[in-house]
């Protein structure tokens, strides 16, 4: 993948899949801007990425914050959105407001960025959904609905925004900071259990998903593509 002279924005680039995407894009020659809510996290991430990385604060749950971020008028070649902060629980265990907050972060966050971002001709938008769109599990109906909504949005925007290309990746478990709230032993046990369960014999690494996001960004034939990149989780 050659991203020389391209400018990639990663919304959610301060950790996890977004950080790995920023790192891979820099290695492919791009200029990269990472954006998320926390200025401190962004600064640490940009320092770790090194030359070629800039950063800016955005809160994708807030219309005004998204409008403000893009008011600078920068035109990006590719925009990837990995930002989300969702609390998922069974329908009887969270309030409607809490469920709406999850949808507001992951689905409407993507929608807001897609609506506001300026993307150069030949460019793309790339989103993260999740394999639960196709494989619901107990207590995960809300996650299934959010991910299915993102996949539908991806296909619809590929028509609405053409010739801008719009794609998404739907992973199963990826070992990122998303899981850092778990006790280390419990996290390691969960990862070992899922790796044994998945046909690929491994959970995802952020780099696996980053590679796919950049492949979709740079492949001129890819639009409306939802790539199920899940270690085979949706098969078992």
Ligand X SMILES: NC(=O)c1ccc[n+]([C@@H]2O[C@H](COP(=O)([O-])OP(=O)(O)OC[C@H]3O[C@@H](n4cnc5c(N)ncnc54)[C@H](OP(=O)(O)O)[C@@H]3O)[C@@H](O)[C@H]2O)c1
* Pairing, β 53-57 against β 31-36: parallel
Q: Is 230 left (phi over 0), alpha (psi -120 to 50) or beta?
A: alpha
Establish if 130 lies at the interface with ligand X (CB under 6 A): yes
Candidate segments 10-18, 152-160, 183-191, 211-219, binder of ligand X by CB under 6 A: 10-18
| Residue 165 parent element (H or E) | strand 165-171
Establish if 56 lies at the interface with ligand X (CB under 6 A): no
Of residues 4 and 70, the one with the C-beta less far from ligand X: 70
- For 100-118, b/e burial (b = at least 16 CB within 10 A) is ebbebbbbbbbbbbbebbe
Of residues 135 and 155, the one with the C-beta less far from ligand X: 135
Interface pick for ligand X out of 33, 82, 124, 225 (rule CB under 6 A): 82
- Helices and strands, counts by H and E, the chain: 7, 7
Interface pick for ligand X out of 24, 83, 99, 210 (rule CB under 6 A): 83
Tell me the number of residues near ligand X by CB under 6 A.
29
C-alpha to C-alpha distance for 27 and 201, rounded to whole angstroms: 28
Query: What residues line the site for ligand X (CB under 6 A)?
Result: 12, 14-18, 36-38, 41, 58-61, 82-85, 105-106, 109, 128, 130, 171, 173-174, 176-178
């Amino acid at each position: 993948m050659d991203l020389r002279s391209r400018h990639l924005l990663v919304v959610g680039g301060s950790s996890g899949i977004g950080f790995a995407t920023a790192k891979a894009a820099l290695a492919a020659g791009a200029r990269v801007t990472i954006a998320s809510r926390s200025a401190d996290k962004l600064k640490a991430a940009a320092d770790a990425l090194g030359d070629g990385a800039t950063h800016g604060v955005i809160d994708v749950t807030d219309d005004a914050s998204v409008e403000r971020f893009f008011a600078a008028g920068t035109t990006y070649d590719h925009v990837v959105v990995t930002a989300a902060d969702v609390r998922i629980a069974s329908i009887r265990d969270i309030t409607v407001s809490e469920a709406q907050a999850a949808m507001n972060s992951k689905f409407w966050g993507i929608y807001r960025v897609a609506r506001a971002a300026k993307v150069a001709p030949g460019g793309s938008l790339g989103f993260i959904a999740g394999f639960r769109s196709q494989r619901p599990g107990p207590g995960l109906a809300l996650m299934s609905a959010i991910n299915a909504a993102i996949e539908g949005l991806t296909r619809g925007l590929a028509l609405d925004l053409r010739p801008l290309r719009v794609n998404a990746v739907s992973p199963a478990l990826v070992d990122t900071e998303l899981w850092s709230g778990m006790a280390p032993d419990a996290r390691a046990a969960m990862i070992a259990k899922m790796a044994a369960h998945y046909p690929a014999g491994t959970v995802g690494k952020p780099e696996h998903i980053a590679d796919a996001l950049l492949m979709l960004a740079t492949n001129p034939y890819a639009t409306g593509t939802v790539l199920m990149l899940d270690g085979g989780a949706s098969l078992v």
